[in-house]
Amino acid sequence: MFQGSLVALITPMRADGSIDEAALRRFVEWQIREGTEGLVPVGTTGESPTLSHDEHKRVVEIVIEAAAKRVPVIAGAGSNSTREAIELSQHAQKAGADGVLIVTPYYNKPTQEGLYLHYKAIAESIDIPVIIYNIPGRSVIDMSVETMARLAEIPNIVGVKDATANLTRPLHTRRAIGPQFCQLSGEDHTALAFLAAGGHGCISVTANVAPALCAAMHRAWREGRVSEAIAIQDRLLPLHDAMFAETSPGPVKYAASLLGFTAPHCRLPLAPVRESTAARIRAAMEELGLLALA
């Protein structure tokens, strides 16, 4: 259903912090031209925690309009309030999204039963596919394989974005649910290893600034050119390191600013990246020849 290199889109903004709608459209167009196989707006990388509901919905609408069905759009629609997640999911469906990405409820710390009931309620409120987003590092809670298997029995819960960086997880998920359950990595460093463990693709931060290379790595893997995929992975490693040298999406927002797509900083409480981090980002991008694209 969803595969390859998908991008966890930044939300381009002007220097005053307002959303730059024209830049967002240009950015979507560039991503598709460079080979990105799916767009995921208003996740954490898109600064969803600091967007108003109106801004969140507008970003989803713009990305869907700009993509024009050329690649799938999986709209971020998660919340720690089930009612709010349902509202955002229903909006995404009405706007024409191909699916929704629902993060495990942060701060509340629900039990596994609470997680099950949360996702069940959301899935039953819409008809489009639901991707579970399991990211214990941000949400504190970790959805068990057993809970995920229960949820996979609901017809439109079709996959997971796994940001645990635990490479035994896709093995156990595949065994418990089957190969049809779409497993997408949420961790750039281990994306290729995740594919080897039965994954189908990656929702990538790095693809914001290196979409062609990320897409080429996934194509090479699918086509059996394993050595080529590993070589691309090796080339991307310093950039992956730089993208997570500080809290994401601070570094990737700065990197995208070097390409002319956005102001270089996130909304508070995320601070501008340190100069040492900025220098590291520039060096990694220069090594890959990315700044020549600006």
pLDDT of residue 147: 98
Across residues 21-30, what is the average pLDDT?
Answer: 98
Across residues 200-214, what is the average pLDDT?
Answer: 98
Domain of 8 in residue numbering reads as 4-225
pLDDT (tens digit per residue) in 85-129: 999 999 999 999 999 999 999 999 999 999 999 999 999 999 999
> What tokens were used for 252?
């990737």
pLDDT of residue 293: 56
Across residues 173-199, what is the average pLDDT?
Answer: 98
Across residues 46-53, what is the average pLDDT?
Answer: 97
| Average of per-residue pLDDT values in the chain | 97
pLDDT of residue 111: 98
179 found inside a domain: yes
32 found inside a domain: yes
**Relative orientation angle of helices 250-258 and 275-287, to the nearest 10 degrees:** 60
42 found inside a domain: yes
Cβ contact 211:31 at 8 Å: yes
In the chain, the percentage of residues whose pLDDT exceeds 70 is 99
Position 294 pLDDT exceeds 70:
no
264 found inside a domain: no
> What tokens were used for 32?
């598709």
Per DSSP, the residues of 54-96 read: HHHHHHHHHHHHHHTTSS-BEEE---SSHHHHHHHHHHHHHHT
Contacts of 139 (CB under 8 A, 6+ apart): 103, 104, 105, 106
108 found inside a domain: yes
Across residues 64-92, what is the average pLDDT?
Answer: 98
Q: Domain count of the chain?
A: 1
Catalytic residues: 133, 161
* Residue 136: alpha-carbon gap to chain centroid: 15
pLDDT (tens digit per residue) in 271-293: 999 999 999 999 999 999 999 75
pLDDT of residue 1: 79
* Residue 22: alpha-carbon gap to chain centroid: 21
pLDDT (tens digit per residue) in 216-233: 999 999 999 999 999 999
Distance, in Å, from the CA atom of 272 to the CA atom of 19, rounded to the nearest integer, reads 17
247 found inside a domain: no
283 found inside a domain: no
235 found inside a domain: no
Specify the CATH number for the domain of residue 143: 3.20.20.70
Distance, in Å, from the CA atom of 70 to the CA atom of 217, rounded to the nearest integer, reads 20
* Residue 228: alpha-carbon gap to chain centroid: 24
